[in-house]
């Protein structure tokens, strides 16, 4: 077991639906520690850079349109096996397939509008945290 950091996004649909507090409460109950948090409004340019591996795929225009439609909450979470633990708390990408009680099962609407994002590996966590948070923004 190792202490690590992961990146998370509370997506526009969850922010606009007033679910931020419930999601943050789940993070606190899970014993993950909040090390950075920022409310932001993504632009198409930021989305293209952040989701660069998806640009050009059929689903990308829908993803970009969704991610710019409202504010998001950007998070740095820390704890033992934080990446896997956060992904377990979120549930499967498709809310219809997510386990009961997970964030995506509770608050997600579709595969794209699934309420939350989380890094899928240490390498992506490092890249995503670096993209949205400079070292000076994290405690």
Residue 82: inside a domain: yes
d(CA 46, CA 57): 17
- The label of the residue with tokens 């998806």 reads 54
- Closest CA relative to residue 74, chosen from 26, 112, 130, 32: 130
Parent domain of 100: 3-134
The pLDDT of residue 2 is above 80: no
Among 74, 117, 118, 119, the one annotated catalytic: 117
Could you report the per-residue pLDDT of 52-79, keeping only the tens digit for each? 999 999 999 999 999 999 999 999 999 9
Give mean pLDDT, residues 125-137: 88
117 is catalytic: yes
pLDDT score for 138: 75
- Give the pTM: 0.94
Q: Is the pLDDT of residue 1 over 80?
A: no
Number of domains in the chain: 1
51 inside domain: yes
Contact 18, 64 (CB under 8 A): no
* CATH number of the domain bearing residue 108: 3.30.70.141
In a domain, 14, yes or no: yes
Report the percent of the chain where pLDDT is more than 90.
93
pLDDT at 134 over 90: no
23-48 pLDDT per residue, tens = 999 999 998 999 999 999 999 999 99
Q: What is the pLDDT of residue 115?
A: 98
Asked, for residue 107, whether it belongs to a domain, the answer is yes
Q: What share of the chain has pLDDT > 70, as a percent?
A: 96
> What are 85-106's pLDDT values in tens digits?
999 999 999 999 999 999 999 9
Q: Who wins on pLDDT, 134 or 92?
A: 92
Euclidean distance between CA atoms 77 and 86, whole angstroms:
8
Distance CA 110, CA 30 (A): 24
Mode of pairing for the β-strands spanning 3-10 and 33-40 = unpaired
In a domain, 139, yes or no: no
Measured CA to CA, the distance from residue 34 to residue 72 in angstroms comes to 16
């Amino acid at each position: 077991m190792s202490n690590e950091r992961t990146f998370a996004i509370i997506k526009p649909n969850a922010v606009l639906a007033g679910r931020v507090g419930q999601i943050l409460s789940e993070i606190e109950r899970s014993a993950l520690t909040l090390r950075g948090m920022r409310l932001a409004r993504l632009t198409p340019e930021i989305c293209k850079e952040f989701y660069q591996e998806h640009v050009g795929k059929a689903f990308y225009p829908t993803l970009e349109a969704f991610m710019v439609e409202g504010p998001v909450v950007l998070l740095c979470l820390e704890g033992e096996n934080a990446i896997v633990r956060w992904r377990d708390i979120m549930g499967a990408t498709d809310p219809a397939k997510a386990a009961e009680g997970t964030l995506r099962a509770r608050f997600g609407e579709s595969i794209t509008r699934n309420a939350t994002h989380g890094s899928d590996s240490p390498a992506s966590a490092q890249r995503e945290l670096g993209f949205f948070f400079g070292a000076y923004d994290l405690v």
